[in-house]
Amino acid sequence: MSEAIELRKPYLLFLGSADSAINAKTAAGVAHWRPEHCRAQLRLDDKTVDLGFPDMSVGEAAAAGCATFLIGLAPVGAVLPDSWLALCVAALEAGMDIASGLHVRLGAIPALAEAARKSGGRILDVREPPPGLPCGTGDRRSGKRLLTVGTDCCVGKMFSALAIDAEIRKRGVKSTFRATGQTGILIQGSGLAIDAVVSDFLSGAVEVLAPANDPDHWDVIEGQGSLYHPAYAAVSLGLLHGAQADALVLCHELGRTAIDGNYQDFPIPPLEEVIALNLQVARRTNRNAALLGLSVNSSNLGAAAATAAMAELEDTLGVPVIDPVRTGAAKLVDELNT
């Protein structure tokens, strides 16, 4: 039986020489959402951003119990710098695993593969899905599930899911964030890169990622893409069918009118239409699927304009609207049948 990736904790966060948290986005995400999994940081020089953990060398971190060397940033350019490679080898030799969300597959670099073979450490390239994924069954399974869906890519589906999961757990209700992309997987320490799964196994992969659970347990599943994205809609549909979500949260960037990037010919349809299509296909595998509310990114607007725009959406659509950065997720979780 195939299983989602699982990182060993705690981590040594590798920050390279990133001069800001933005440039060590992955590490900053892990530090923000899962500080309890981070024991130390490794910075290449004094100008490197400080995420607030003890600075340690690889050897010190291993002695302090760090189990995974987590690469918390992308290199400039596609190639792994020699200095990073040497640290990865040292981490493996010190008994740690390596976790990476980089495009370049570390497991395919001979020096690293050899070091891992010798040490028994694992190289977790989290963009690679596990082997042996099954086809979807569509069988109803226990537990409750929430899926974030979007009007486009990069509209806050991961952030919203993390915020909702945190809010549910804060209330003493069982919840697990289920990551479907490399950043989410490194934050959560487990998950499955859904867009790298072979098409036939998409829904099956979601069934593996978010399996049957306690009746009062929530899986909060990170969505990907959009049913309206001309390149990535299939991924979104596989997620919708595999998730059997009870609750959908639509994520949207206020003011975005077309699909981002080279897709400006593709307008974002009226939100009512987006909601209707997402519910229609979600109900194929869970007839009770319902829209919980919207989670918007209002960072293009000032505070007053954002509040007004969200109130207007609430009036029009009849569901709560949050911006997880500005308002938190409480208003959505209030509506959950937890």
Binding site for its own copies (CB under 8 A): 135-138, 140, 194-200, 202-204, 227-228, 230-235, 237-238, 241, 262-263, 265-266, 277, 280-281, 284-285
**Integer Cα distance of 124 and 106 in angstroms:** 8
Nearest distance, CB of residue 237 and its own copies, angstroms = 5
**Integer Cα distance of 62 and 40 in angstroms:** 10
Nearer to its own copies, 115 or 193 (CB): 193
Nearest distance, CB of residue 252 and its own copies, angstroms = 17
The long-range contacts involving 257-261, CB below 8 angstroms and separated by at least 24 positions, are 259/152, 259/153, 259/226, 259/228, 259/229, 259/230, 260/152, 260/153, 260/154, 261/153
Nearer to its own copies, 82 or 265 (CB): 265
Three-state DSSP class for residue 63:
helix
Nearest distance, CB of residue 160 and its own copies, angstroms = 21
Angle at 84 between CA 108 and CA 69, to 5 degrees: 80
Nearer to its own copies, 138 or 328 (CB): 138
Nearest distance, CB of residue 112 and its own copies, angstroms = 23
Torsion angles phi and psi, residue 41, rounded to 5? -130, 150
Structure tokens at 48: 């490197």
Nearest distance, CB of residue 258 and its own copies, angstroms = 11
Strands 290-297 and 247-253: parallel
Nearer to its own copies, 193 or 336 (CB): 193
For the purposes of burial, counting CB atoms within 10 Å of the CB of 82, is it exposed (0-12), middle (13-18) or buried (19 or more)? exposed
Nearest distance, CB of residue 138 and its own copies, angstroms = 3
Nearer to its own copies, 42 or 227 (CB): 227
Nearer to its own copies, 83 or 264 (CB): 264
Nearer to its own copies, 54 or 261 (CB): 261
| Tokens 């990736």 -> residue | 5
**Integer Cα distance of 49 and 42 in angstroms:** 10
Q: Which helix (H) or strand (E) holds 314?
A: helix 303-317
Torsion angles phi and psi, residue 273, rounded to 5? -70, -40
